[in-house]
Amino acid sequence: MSSVNADAKHTGDDRAKTPGQLTGAVVIVALVSAVSGMLYGYDTGIISGALLQITKDFEIAEAWKQVIAASILLGAVIGALVCSYLSEKRGRKGTLVMLAAVFVIGALWCAFSPNPVVLSLGRLVLGFAVGGATQTAPMYVAELAPPKYRGRLVLCFQIAIGVGIVIATIVGASESVPWRWSIGAAAVPAAIMLGLLLRLPESPRWLIKDGDSDKARDVLNKVRPPAYDVDGELDEMTELTRKEEAAKTRGWAGLRAAWVRPALILGCGIAIFTQLSGIEMIIYYSPTILTDNGFSESVALQVSVALGVSYLVAQLVGLSIIDKVGRRRLTLIMIPGAALSLFVLGTLFATGHSGRDSVPFIIACLVVFMLFNAGGLQLMGWLTGSETYPLAVRPAGTAAQSAALWGTNLVITLTLLTLISGIGVGPAMWLYGLFNVAAWIFVYFRMPDLTGRSLEQIERKLSEGKFRPADFAR
């Protein structure tokens, strides 16, 4: 390694360890990301309880239930891909401003829908905003946050998803709020998000790529504490951008480069397994599955609230320890608990122990699954996308990862009720338990621990072909 590179690496290492403090601007950036995450959790989670009301109002069958639930996911796939281009051309902030407006429009569209067709189209629009936000918001935070706090600030987005899910399940369980009001209420936080965004700066990394280093310096001076080495970070960003502009590895075509492929495999693999692990199956359809198996609507909705609270608690605990335990270690510890709970749950249903006497065991299995899944694998879904990809391909990489996540979610949502009708609840739970086993194997062999590494350090490791778990051992 040359002395220049060695000095740059030393500077990056020291800066990553600088204690510093969070500035107000970075906190507001994290808040905006959190609002977008809350909208994601609320807009996707509210359908769980609302679907029971919608079924009665529109007198729809099982196929329409799946279409209404899944339409937001198709929109999310489209939003993730389109916003990859927009975040590159218009900037991270500009894209998020547009998405906040779409959140407002989509929520109101759904609230005033006269039939299931219009409702599905409205949820498609809402899904565009959800998918675009999941692609853009974590990347925006990651590019503005100091390395020391990046993991926790990006995960504010993930925690906010849990908050949104909890609010959605409580609203649904009340059974007194009409579904049109419960869905349309999402327009309020979306409007708040829009107002906050208008006060925030653009990503300094994007500004450098856009040729405006002076403005990037101004942004860094606003979002870093007074004693922070702004010049050193700016120089590192500028040098990295210069190398990327001279390199052939750029945009979507750059994802095919051999040295980028490990990041793409990791990001998309984690995204797919977060969905195959069964989280959305439980969030979207647990009330439907429980009522179809003899539970009253009231009990099913109360269980849904318990699951939402479990999700949030697990995320908060995970957030508090992730930078101490490490991303990789935490994920490997938590996945087996989620898998075991699904195997036990499947056995209860398969052996006919799903009646009134087994209710406590069924609920316990669902809650245990949620705790282990939400506190482990789910934390990694958006975090890996925000910090894994090189700057020149980051929008394309995060878009591909978001599309993989939402595409998997779409397939699951469109087929789950049909799958359960075909093979039964028990075997379906076993299948998702096996997906968790596969997820553990994938994480063990493919996921390095990026805890405490700057984005530039991560990219340097990737370019050197050192992106296996052993290459990041401390």
> Averaged over 175-194, what is the pLDDT?
91
Read off the tokens for 313.
């608690």
Per-residue pLDDT for 400 more than 80?
Answer: yes
User: Is the model more confident about 452 or about 360?
Assistant: 360
Residue 323 is predicted with a pLDDT of 80
Amino acid at 45: G
Share of the chain above pLDDT 70, in %: 93
Amino acid at 58: F
> Averaged over 259-277, what is the pLDDT?
93
User: Is the model more confident about 55 or about 337?
Assistant: 337
Q: Which of 220-234, 260-274, 437-451 has the lowest mean pLDDT?
A: 220-234
How far apart CA 369 and CA 356 sit, in angstroms, is 21
Top mean-pLDDT range of 18-22, 240-244, 445-449 = 445-449
> Averaged over 319-347, what is the pLDDT?
91
Three-state secondary-structure class, residue 295? coil
> What residues make up the domain containing 285?
22-200+247-472
Q: Identify the sign of the CA torsion 396, 398, 404, 410.
A: negative
Give the other-Cβ count within 10 Å of 36's Cβ.
32
20 Cβ contact partners less than 8 Å away, ≥ 6 residues apart: 146, 148, 224, 225, 227, 228
- Whether 215 maps to a domain, the answer reads no
Q: Which of 11-15, 128-132, 224-228, 240-244 has the lowest mean pLDDT?
A: 11-15
Residue 182 is predicted with a pLDDT of 92
Residue 69 is predicted with a pLDDT of 83
Per-residue pLDDT for 362 more than 50?
Answer: yes
Name the DSSP class of 281.
H
User: In this structure, what CATH number is given to the domain that contains residue 95?
Assistant: 1.20.1250.20
**pLDDT tens sequence across 283-302:** 767 777 777 767 777 777 88
Top mean-pLDDT range of 73-77, 86-90, 343-347 = 343-347
226 Cβ contact partners less than 8 Å away, ≥ 6 residues apart: none
Three-state secondary-structure class, residue 43? helix
3-state helix, strand, coil in the chain (%, to 5): 85, 0, 15
- Whether 358 maps to a domain, the answer reads yes
- Whether 5 maps to a domain, the answer reads no
Q: How long a stretch of residues is the chain?
A: 474
Top mean-pLDDT range of 104-118, 229-243, 311-325 = 104-118
How far apart CA 390 and CA 457 sit, in angstroms, is 10
Read off the tokens for 49.
């309880």
How far apart CA 362 and CA 356 sit, in angstroms, is 10
Residue 21 is predicted with a pLDDT of 61
> Averaged over 15-19, what is the pLDDT?
42
Per-residue pLDDT for 16 more than 70?
Answer: no
**Residue appearing with tokens 């309880």:** 49
Per-residue pLDDT for 305 more than 90?
Answer: no
Q: How confident is the model at residue 343 (pLDDT cuts 50, 70, 90)?
A: very high
- Whether 109 maps to a domain, the answer reads yes
**Residue 50 vs residues 110, 270, 354: alpha-carbon distances, Å:** 12, 30, 25
Three-state secondary-structure class, residue 256? coil
DSSP secondary structure, 51-89, as one string: HHHHHHHHT--HHHHHHHHHHHHHHHHHHHHHHHHHHHH
CB 213 within 8 A of CB 230: no
Which helix (H) or strand (E) element contains residue 125? Answer: helix 116-144
Residue 224 is predicted with a pLDDT of 83
- Whether 219 maps to a domain, the answer reads no
- Whether 299 maps to a domain, the answer reads yes
* Residue of 100, 94, 108, 106 whose CA lies nearest to 195: 100
CB 387 within 8 A of CB 456: no
Amino acid at 19: P
Residue 7 is predicted with a pLDDT of 40
Three-state secondary-structure class, residue 252? helix
Residue 165 is predicted with a pLDDT of 85
**pLDDT tens sequence across 408-442:** 988 888 888 788 888 988 899 999 999 999 999 99
Angle, helices 279-292/394-423, rounded to nearest 10 degrees: 20
Q: How confident is the model at residue 474 (pLDDT cuts 50, 70, 90)?
A: low
> Averaged over 247-276, what is the pLDDT?
88
Q: Which of 20-24, 126-130, 334-338 has the lowest mean pLDDT?
A: 20-24
pTM: 0.75
- Whether 293 maps to a domain, the answer reads yes
Amino acid at 309: V
CB 140 within 8 A of CB 33: yes
Per-residue pLDDT for 401 more than 80?
Answer: yes
- Whether 1 maps to a domain, the answer reads no
246 Cβ contact partners less than 8 Å away, ≥ 6 residues apart: none
Helix (H), strand (E) counts: the chain: 21, 0
329 Cβ contact partners less than 8 Å away, ≥ 6 residues apart: 449
> Averaged over 221-229, what is the pLDDT?
80
State how many domains the chain has: 1
Per-residue pLDDT for 96 more than 60?
Answer: yes
> Averaged over 212-229, what is the pLDDT?
84
